[in-house]
A and B are shown apart, each in its own frame.
Chain A
Amino acid sequence: GQNIDQPTEMTATEGAIVQINCTYQTSGFNGLFWYQQHAGEAPTFLSYNVLDGLEEKGRFSSFLSRSKGYSYLLLKELQMKDSASYLCAVRDGDAGKSTFGDGTTLTVKP
């Protein structure tokens, strides 16, 4: 099975940088996803990591260390619209099945 841990809440200031961590313990590993979910809306895909290292995509970057069971999502130049829940999801050996963490609620303040 999967055990995924993320902080419940974080607060940051507009224009700043924030790092959201995710640790996982899995019986198998076949990729890690980050999703963004605004209140009352569906999750939307942000990033995917399967190899160790950093994946950069505009203001968002995601890092993975498979040996440590650790990932983070880095958000730069924060904007008010980045206030949302950020979900870490780990795909296990069964390629069709991903387990989601409980999400980190990020509040961006002026």
Chain B
Amino acid sequence: DAGVIQSPRHEVTEMGQEVTLRCKPISGHDYLFWYRQTMMRGLELLIYFNNNVPIDDSGMPEDRFSAKMPNASFSTLKIQPSEPRDSAVYFCASSMGLAGSTDTQYFGPGTRLTVL
């Protein structure tokens, strides 16, 4: 398996623009997670899905952020409008199941977002 795939790997945009990050989880994994990592705040969970359904979005910072998972092999994280404080590395991760070591999360390579 190719692992979790994210695109783009790098994104530089200007404040106010819309940004869309994409993720393809590992086939057969029922859970998908979106994280944001910064030096100041570390690795933060934004939202996660189970079988394409959003379960917990309490980590989404504000209404400018939205995430969708239209099918088992694709998810997007959208920021509209973007702000400089959104600059971070955004990771997508997936895991197989609910209990034990099957909850091991496999991370994608991340998208490094810079908002000018």
Could you list which residues of chain A lie within 8 angstroms of chain B, going by C-beta atoms? 30-31, 33, 41-45, 48, 50, 87, 91, 94-103
Residue tally, chain B, CB below 8 Å to A: 22
The residues of A that contact B50 with a CB separation of less than 8 Å are 96
| Interfacial residues of chain B within 48-71, with CB under 8 A of chain A in the complex | 48, 50, 55-56
* A38 to B44 alpha-carbon distance, docked (Å): 18
What are some 5 contacts across the A-B interface (CB < 8 A)? Answer: A33-B104, A42-B108, A87-B43, A99-B45, A101-B42
Q: Indicate if the CB atoms of B103 and A31 lie closer than 8 Å.
A: yes
Question: Among the listed B98, B100, B110, which residue makes an inter-chain contact with A96, where contact means beta carbons less than 8 Å apart?
Answer: B98
Q: Indicate if the CB atoms of A96 and B107 lie closer than 8 Å.
A: no
Q: Indicate if the CB atoms of A95 and B109 lie closer than 8 Å.
A: no
Q: Indicate if the CB atoms of A45 and B109 lie closer than 8 Å.
A: no
A40: shortest Cβ distance to chain B, in Å?
9
The residues of B that contact A94 with a CB separation of less than 8 Å are 56
Interface secondary structure of A, over-half rule: loop
Could you list which residues of chain B lie within 8 angstroms of chain A, going by C-beta atoms? 31, 42-45, 48, 50, 55-56, 91, 98-101, 103-110
The residue in chain B whose Cβ has the minimal distance to the Cβ of A97 is B56
Question: Among the listed B44, B99, B101, B109, which residue makes an inter-chain contact with A41, where contact means beta carbons less than 8 Å apart?
Answer: B109
* A44 to B50 alpha-carbon distance, docked (Å): 21
The residues of B that contact A41 with a CB separation of less than 8 Å are 109
The residue in chain A whose Cβ has the minimal distance to the Cβ of B55 is A96
Q: Indicate if the CB atoms of A95 and B42 lie closer than 8 Å.
A: no
The residue in chain B whose Cβ has the minimal distance to the Cβ of A87 is B43
The residues of A that contact B100 with a CB separation of less than 8 Å are 31, 48, 50
New A-B contacts (19) at CB < 8 Å, excluding given A48-B100, A95-B98: A30-B99, A31-B100, A31-B103, A33-B103, A33-B104, A42-B107, A45-B104, A48-B101, A48-B103, A91-B103, A95-B99, A95-B103, A96-B31, A97-B45, A98-B105, A100-B42, A100-B44, A102-B42, A103-B42
